[in-house]
A and B are shown apart, each in its own frame.
Chain A
Amino acid sequence: MICLYCLKNYNMEVTWTTIFKPGRKGLCSECCSNLEPIREETCEKCGREYDEQWFDNKHICTDCVAWENHPNYKEVKIKNTSIYKYNNFAKEFVAKWKYRGDYELIYAFSDEIKKTYKSKYKKVDYIITIPLSTERSYERGFNQSEAIAKIMDQKKTLKVLKKNETNKQSKKKKLERIHSENPFIMTGVKSTIDKKVLIVDDIYTTGTTMYQISKILYEAGASEISTFALFRG
């Protein structure tokens, strides 16, 4: 088999890792070993792994405490799940996937994404994907959030949002992002009234995107909102 990431040939060995952590096929053991799964103990809101430097109390990280005090997002309650830490390898991986455009890299996580979806989000009515600006769509050739939603359940995927043309989030500083205006708007009918929705993205960094979209969906009458991001930065 050829490793999805490094393209080297490798043999699928049956080891304790492959038995207890299935769904890693697609990456060779060396690439796999560079991934850091998030362990059990996490922030109750954003899913960040417990680490003293980010936590004043055991339950909620300092970022989420700050969000609770944000004047625009008081009513928004976040419940995020992430699978991996956004470490250096993840950064390179995402860069190759999203910016270089190697779409199929996401298949390395198919099984893990499906597993999480089945165990946590079976009851959602809709999976909400995050739109890209026209320019970004052309540049990348695909939408990373839709790529993940497709692995979960394409039939439940709903594209009801539109993004105004703005600058890239990743080019902005943290404070700029948190206080930037909401670039998303609802399009079409209010199909999310009284629905359980799951917002899907690739990375949760400051949480800005998740808060902005959650707010719109909240105002559009969604009854339950949860979020999924493959990596937690």
Chain B
Amino acid sequence: MTEHEILALLNGIRLLADEIPFDIQEINKLGLIKKELGLNNYNCLRCGNNDKNKFGKHFCLRCNNICYYCKNCIMMGKLSSCSELYSGPSTNTLEPTNKNYLNYDGEFTDEQKTASTKVIETIKQKSQLLIWAVCGAGKTEIIFPGLNFALQKGLNICLATPRTDVVHELTPRLKKAFPEIEITSLFGGSENKYKNSPITISTTHQLLRFYKKFDVLILDEIDAFPYNYDKSLQYAVNNARKDDSTFIMLSATPPNSINYNQQINKVIIPKRYHGNPLPLPKLEWIGDWEKSLLTKNNVPKKLQDFIEHSIREGRKPIVFVPNIPIGSVLQDKISESKFVYSSHENRKRIVEEFKEGKLKCLITTTILERGVTIPFVDVAVLGADDEIFNETALVQIAGRVGRKKEDTSGRVIFFHNGKTNEILKSIKHIKKINRLGGFE
């Protein structure tokens, strides 16, 4: 074991003694390594858990005392009152240079240009920025010049997202844009050991082991599940950043807590990159469709018309449903359709089949509300009044339509049995964005 190996293992990373394959006595002698107690009363230093109900205790055979432990992050290795966390300083992998790393020749709209300049400024100032960009604004491309700038400065960059799907989607795009740069992707189940590289693309979950690692952290889909709801992921993101670092958040539907935060600068991109407005959803009342569907297997007439009409025009209808039983029944009743949900084994393949036109109609739960771009889709929400469809979800779903230059319009219909507040808010939201984009 050399000092070099220890510093490499703990390079901006915080681990339990159990996770370190070196002699702890030797590590304690190294001045650069920081040692901290893992728990402080009902506070877990690793995951930020401070909910009394999520701690356990027992007589510990390690320390021969009553010992508390964090239940919230126990799957990462048990952290008890007698556990210590070790971390080392984060070092940068690239030397500062004037070289251009970016390989991208797409053209920016004026809005994209403004936003991407803001990104560079934010990195220079080490401040915080929210990019509120409508669905289909070309968010990822906006950050490219900023990433290039950060790489030239030799900074450690992290692109984080709550969703594994997005990690898979971003990785090839970034590799293409920065062909010379080593990129490490982290997600649940990614086996390869972490490699210190200039760009890390990670799920927010995987950030829990990082400690003051990154100079620039860009968080995509800040409002997506489970980040918006799991405090420990927010804690992980904050801990993964250096004290003096840049934090850029991206969202099409930012939560108020971020949107109205005075400390965070904001740039809005209300127009899609092809310059057309967001399609406005149409509302259709269809009565008590659920009972008639589940007991008599009756597909609502209006929904059937929507699907047939869409197929006849050579388009691709997607139907969003509030839960799995409803989706399953629909799949059986609608010909050449398939239903996908989060735990579906072949979910990826089915979406591909639909894209390729091998399937006439796709039925889905809210899992496809984000991150999918399929040309020529029309979208229906069956039971838009269900509580699972909040404002954010409905705006995102409507945002699936008309994302491509060759197909900028498309239909969005919310089928409901009574307008909810969330439905009305989503319509207001879309109207407001379109107004900001100069459409009236």
Binding site for B on A (CB under 8 A): 2, 7, 96, 100-104, 137-138, 140-143, 147
CB nearest neighbor in B for A143: B61
CA distance A142 to B62 in the complex (A): 8
Interchain CB contact under 8 A, B56 and A96: no
Interchain CB contact under 8 A, A7 and B58: no
Say if the beta carbon of B11 comes within 8 Å of chain A.
no
Chain B neighbourhood of A96, CB < 8 A: 74-75
Given A2-B53, A101-B69, A103-B69, A142 and B74 touching (CB < 8 A)? no
CA distance A7 to B60 in the complex (A): 22
Interchain CB contact under 8 A, B61 and A137: yes
CA distance A102 to B72 in the complex (A): 10
Contact partner of A141 (CB less than 8 A), chosen from B53, B54, B60, B71, is: B60
Chain B neighbourhood of A101, CB < 8 A: 69, 74, 78, 80
Task: Report the minimal beta-carbon distance from A29 to chain B, rounded to whole angstroms.
Answer: 17
Contact partner of B60 (CB less than 8 A), chosen from A100, A104, A142, A147, is: A142
Given contacts A96-B75, A101-B69, A104-B71, 13 further A-B contacts (CB under 8 A): A7-B54, A96-B74, A100-B78, A102-B69, A102-B74, A103-B69, A138-B62, A141-B60, A141-B62, A141-B67, A142-B58, A142-B59, A143-B61
Chain A neighbourhood of B80, CB < 8 A: 101, 141
CB nearest neighbor in B for A101: B78
Contact partner of B56 (CB less than 8 A), chosen from A104, A137, A138, is: A104
Contact partner of B61 (CB less than 8 A), chosen from A7, A100, A104, A138, is: A138
CA distance A103 to B59 in the complex (A): 9
Given A140-B61, A141-B60, A100 and B75 touching (CB < 8 A)? yes
Chain A neighbourhood of B72, CB < 8 A: 7
* Total contacts A-B at CB 8 Å: 45
Task: Report the minimal beta-carbon distance from B14 to chain A, rounded to whole angstroms.
Answer: 19
Chain B binding surface SS class: mixed
Task: Report the minimal beta-carbon distance from B77 to chain A, rounded to whole angstroms.
Answer: 8
CB nearest neighbor in B for A103: B58
Interface residues of B in 260-309 (CB under 8 A from A): none
Task: Report the minimal beta-carbon distance from A2 to chain B, rounded to whole angstroms.
Answer: 5
CB nearest neighbor in B for A134: B61
CA distance A142 to B74 in the complex (A): 15
Chain A neighbourhood of B56, CB < 8 A: 102-104
Contact partner of A104 (CB less than 8 A), chosen from B58, B59, B75, is: B58
Interchain CB contact under 8 A, A141 and B78: yes
Interchain CB contact under 8 A, B58 and A100: no
Chain A neighbourhood of B58, CB < 8 A: 103-104, 141-142, 147
CA distance A147 to B60 in the complex (A): 12
Contact partner of B74 (CB less than 8 A), chosen from A100, A143, A147, is: A100
Task: Report the minimal beta-carbon distance from B24 to chain A, rounded to whole angstroms.
Answer: 13
Task: Report the minimal beta-carbon distance from A193 to chain B, rounded to whole angstroms.
Answer: 30
Chain B neighbourhood of A140, CB < 8 A: 61
CB nearest neighbor in A for B79: A101
CA distance A91 to B54 in the complex (A): 22
CA distance A143 to B54 in the complex (A): 22
CB nearest neighbor in B for A136: B61
CB nearest neighbor in A for B70: A102
Chain B neighbourhood of A143, CB < 8 A: 61
Interchain CB contact under 8 A, A142 and B54: no
Task: Report the minimal beta-carbon distance from B232 to chain A, rounded to whole angstroms.
Answer: 11
CA distance A147 to B75 in the complex (A): 21
Chain A neighbourhood of B67, CB < 8 A: 141
Contact partner of B71 (CB less than 8 A), chosen from A102, A137, A138, A142, is: A102
Interface residues of B in 14-73 (CB under 8 A from A): 53-54, 56-62, 67, 69, 71-72
Task: Report the minimal beta-carbon distance from B48 to chain A, rounded to whole angstroms.
Answer: 15
Query: Which of A102, A104, A141 has the most chain B CB within a 10 Å cutoff?
Result: A141
Interchain CB contact under 8 A, A2 and B54: yes
Task: Report the minimal beta-carbon distance from B285 to chain A, rounded to whole angstroms.
Answer: 33
Chain B neighbourhood of A137, CB < 8 A: 61
Task: Report the minimal beta-carbon distance from B188 to chain A, rounded to whole angstroms.
Answer: 16
Chain B neighbourhood of A102, CB < 8 A: 56, 69, 71, 74, 78
Chain B neighbourhood of A100, CB < 8 A: 74-75, 77-78
Interface residues of B in 69-114 (CB under 8 A from A): 69, 71-72, 74-75, 77-78, 80
